[in-house]
Structure 1
């Protein structure tokens, strides 16, 4: 049994799709599939039902899920505790953050948190929301920083994780001034792996009176959607923290159709299990 197999199992259970899970694990799909098969061979039963639509947990797989997540977290916690006893990595904080917040929010925020007393070591993992959630679930990072919106919960058990609000951001529907009006509205959307994609999907589902949007391009990266918007390819909801320079310069403008601003929180999440003295002190010092 290898730890990487459990991490793969958790990723596939989360995404329900071999291709997306392999991308999140940064391996090829054939290699990922072989590792899932190796885990099933070790357990002695099939853990997933394979269909044309993706992969769903079997009854046996469902019964294993909570234990697999907890075991993965505990193993990484054990490693961190052993390093702490040995005097290694005790003053290094491990963060996961979505791509847009890694570039626009994290540097200024961590400088403000340090407040003249620099943190000895910081490691930032930047990825899409699904991958960041998996890093936190696996215990590979201590903290996850992401956009948050009412009724759009992270894909982990909130009873096992705590969070604090550390900022705010607004999603603005923006376009190039050169975009020609048309119906349906050409829409630059986020993929399912994106936290912003979940937020916008929730908004559209709960506000059915919006103009008809036709997705013409998708990406999990807000920066890519911004670039496509600058090329007059469509309208995109973009974080104000990311798009502010383009708005100020006039390279992007508010959408020509009635699409409202979406207010979001920026939250930091952590597991409820002990994180070590230095990380716990850091957490206690964060204001709600």
Structure 2
């Protein structure tokens, strides 16, 4: 049974005549009668007693009215959900962010697109997972870190890439732990918080930080985590030196609870990039993209008006 067929039959049962049902269904009575015969022919069964005046549903139809009402209501609700979902999709943008970017930069990004009446959904993940979400179209754009000389982004041929800011991976330690760090330094030992080697920051840390240090220091990994926010917490707790994005630890450094050890330990310059699939866009992404790629200019000129 089609949805409109069920509604036609219910209209006859609930109004009491073909004429009244036709008015409810907003068609002429002859056209409505032909529609009812088409339904009967398609089902191969009579549904109405036309010998009665006015015509009325047969007993086997009346016995199923409650079931038909339930089905019709369910189909109306499903149709409404489809319409609502389609409308939401037109005004929704899904952004996949590396964990640190979600914490440090996402609020500014949301503010940048707040005037567009968009539903912004953030997906926080490791860099490879962010790019996978983009390439499988589960995200409209991805915000990730990159460093000069690193391997091209996965699927780079299919991507539009814009640099929207700069960042620095800086070594920090709790001020209260500096004495213990100095003692370890004298022994040639450095307690550190590391990222796993199979995540982007872990590969960067090993190539740009650990490699230059290994000739002069024994690096003692106190904890390994893929989360920059967890690494920051470990540094605050005095577990060792952690390399975290400066934007994530700037408040701690300003407050004096953390100390940036950039004079003695390597830092890594990074770029914050926004990327989307080439040739794939939506009205929401088309509206948001110019504001997102202008983020760096907005940061340099805080008084600048929103585009």
| Structure whose alpha-carbon radius of gyration is higher | 2
3-state SS in 1 of match to 2:89 = coil
Distance 1:256 1:275, change over 3 A: closer
Question: What's the counterpart of residue 207 of structure 2?
Answer: 202
Distance 2:87 2:248 in 1: 39
1:243 aligns with 2:249: yes
Distance 2:245 2:93 in 1: 26
8 Å CA contact 1:165–1:265 kept in 2: the answer is yes
Distance 2:249 2:169 in 1: 9
1:136 aligns with 2:141: no
Deviation of 1:275 after TM superposition, in Å, equals 1.9
What are the within-5 Å matches in structure 2 for residues 105-116 of structure 1?
105-111=105-111, 113-114=112-113
Distance 2:202 2:141 in 1: 21
3-state SS in 1 of match to 2:221 = strand
1:191 aligns with 2:182: no
Q: Deviations over 1:35-54 (max 9, x none)?
A: xxxxxxxxxxxxxxxxxxxx
Deviation of 1:137 after TM superposition, in Å, equals 2.1
Deviation of 1:142 after TM superposition, in Å, equals 1.0
Q: Deviations over 1:136-181 (max 9, x none)?
A: 1211001110111112236512111111111121111111123213
8 Å CA contact 1:193–1:220 kept in 2: the answer is no
Distance 1:85 1:99 in 2: 28
8 Å CA contact 2:194–2:224 kept in 1: the answer is yes
8 Å CA contact 2:170–2:262 kept in 1: the answer is no
8 Å CA contact 1:96–1:136 kept in 2: the answer is yes
| Structure 1 residues without counterparts, runs of 5 or longer | 1-81
Question: What's the counterpart of residue 30 of structure 2?
Answer: none
Deviation of 1:219 after TM superposition, in Å, equals 0.2
1:276 aligns with 2:274: no
8 Å CA contact 1:169–1:266 kept in 2: the answer is yes
C-alpha RMSD over aligned residues: 2.8
Distance 1:271 1:238, change over 3 A: same
Distance 1:90 1:284 in 2: 17
8 Å CA contact 1:84–1:90 kept in 2: the answer is no
220, 223, 237: which one aligns with 1:231: 237
Question: What's the counterpart of residue 91 of structure 2?
Answer: 91
Distance 2:272 2:105 in 1: 9
Normalising to structure 1: TM-score of the pair? 0.63
251, 272, 290: which one aligns with 1:266: 272
| Structure 2 residues without counterparts, runs of 5 or longer | 1-81, 297-307
